[in-house]
């Protein structure tokens, strides 16, 4: 008999542009669970520093900002709306400037330490899919299913270019360069670098479309969580 009250966590890590957020939204919608976009949390901190004119080296001001920051998500059809201090920032955090600032912000230990409890809290008492760089290694090392989604840099750059809200000032070459720089920064930082958890399953999405990746993850989900019925995933949402 399936346990209808059991919550479960799926983590999905990997480099920028591998398709993590698109796939996570679809899986969350299909399994009727929460989607926690931890990258959007770093982007929100970046947005707030810019809005408040805080220099990233001003530790006391940054601490104050982190103490008061409120980040929340709201599912709206295919979209995952992001609110930072009650401002809707969904599109504002997806610019090349925010790509760079979020990457810099995510390398600051103070910021990582402040966001970690918020990330864990967001999935408290519910089933969720968490997308990030350290979701399976640091945020939820006990997750029942860990995916590491990768793709060639050229495929990732093409997808990232398509995602940008404002494409006037960028092209494939500049996106590829920026991605390579962010991959290097994400993988080499001292705290919680991007790396595949030992117990994660690698999916290379270079030659797969979104539906093919989703199918693979759903098959793994039902394999890993055999006590959760198909019925539960279409009726229950605990938070």
**How many residues sit close enough to ligand DC to count as binding (CB under 6 A)?**
15
| Min separation Cβ 110 and ligand DC, Å | 13
- In terms of Cα–Cα distance, which of 112, 105, 147 is closest to 130? 147
Among 185, 133, 183, 137, CA closest to 156: 183
Query: H or E segment at 204?
Result: strand 201-204
Which residue stretch of 74-82, 126-134, 210-218, 224-232 sits at the interface with ligand DC (rule: CB under 6 A)?
Answer: 126-134
Question: Contacting ligand DC (CB under 6 A), which of 11, 16, 80, 176?
Answer: 16
The residue nearest ligand DC at its CB is: 39
CB of 32 to ligand DC, least distance (A): 23
Q: Select from 102, 143, 175, 179 the one that contacts ligand DC (CB under 6 A).
A: 102
Under the binding rule (CB under 6 A), the answer on residue 42 touching ligand DC is: yes
Is position 19 an interface residue for ligand DC (rule: CB under 6 A)?
A: no
Q: Based on CB atoms, which residue is closest to ligand DC, 10 or 228? A: 10
Q: Which of 25, 146, 159, 182 touches ligand DC by CB under 6 A?
A: 182
Q: How many Cβ atoms from other residues are within 10 Å of residue 169's Cβ?
A: 10
Cα–Cα distance for residue pair 224/36, rounded to 1 Å: 20
Smallest separation (angstroms) from ligand DC to the CB of 19: 11
* Residue 30 DSSP symbol: H
**Cα 70 to chain center, whole Å?**
17
DSSP category for residue 201: E
Identified binder of ligand DC from the candidate list 25, 26, 43, 159, rule CB under 6 A:
43
Choose, by CB under 6 A, the member of 7, 11, 24, 38 that binds ligand DC: 38
**How far is the C-alpha of 86 from the C-alpha of 70, rounded, in Å?**
7
Q: Does 11 bind ligand DC (CB under 6 A)?
A: no
Q: Does 136 bind ligand DC (CB under 6 A)?
A: no
CB-nearer residue toward ligand DC: 13 or 236: 13
Contacts 24+ apart (CB under 8 A), 95-98: 95/164, 95/165, 95/166, 96/164, 96/166, 96/169, 96/170, 96/178, 97/50, 98/43, 98/46, 98/47
* Helices and strands (H and E) in the chain: how many: 9, 8
Comparison of 176 and 232: residue with beta carbon closer to ligand DC? 176
Examine residue 103 and tell whether it contacts ligand DC (CB under 6 A). Answer: yes
Residues that bind ligand DC (CB under 6 A): 16, 38-40, 42-43, 102-103, 106, 132-135, 182, 186
């Amino acid at each position: 008999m399936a346990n209808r009250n059991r919550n479960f966590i799926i983590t999905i890590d990997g480099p920028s542009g591998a398709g993590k957020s698109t796939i996570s939204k679809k899986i969350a919608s299909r399994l009727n669970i929460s989607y926690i976009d931890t990258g959007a949390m770093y982007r929100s901190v970046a947005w707030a520093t810019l809005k408040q004119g805080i220099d990233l080296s001003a530790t006391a001001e940054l601490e104050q900002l982190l103490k008061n920051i409120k980040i929340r998500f709201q599912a709206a059809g295919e979209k995952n709306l992001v609110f930072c201090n009650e401002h809707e920032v969904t599109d504002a955090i997806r610019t090349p400037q925010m790509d760079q600032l979020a990457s810099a912000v995510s390398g600051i230990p103070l910021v990582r330490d402040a966001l970690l409890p918020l990330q864990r809290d967001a999935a408290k008492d519910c089933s969720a899919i968490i997308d990030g760089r350290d979701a399976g290694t640091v945020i939820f090392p006990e997750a029942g299913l860990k995916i590491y989604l990768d793709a060639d840099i050229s495929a990732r750059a093409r997808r990232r270019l398509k995602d940008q809200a404002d494409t006037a000032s960028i092209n494939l070459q500049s996106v590829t360069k920026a991605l390579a720089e962010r991959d290097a920064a994400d993988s080499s930082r001292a705290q919680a670098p991007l790396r595949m958890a030992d117990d994660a399953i690698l999916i290379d999405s270079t030659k797969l479309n979104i539906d093919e990746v989703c199918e693979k993850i759903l098959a793994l989900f039902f394999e890993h969580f055999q006590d959760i019925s198909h019925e539960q995933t279409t009726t229950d949402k605990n938070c």
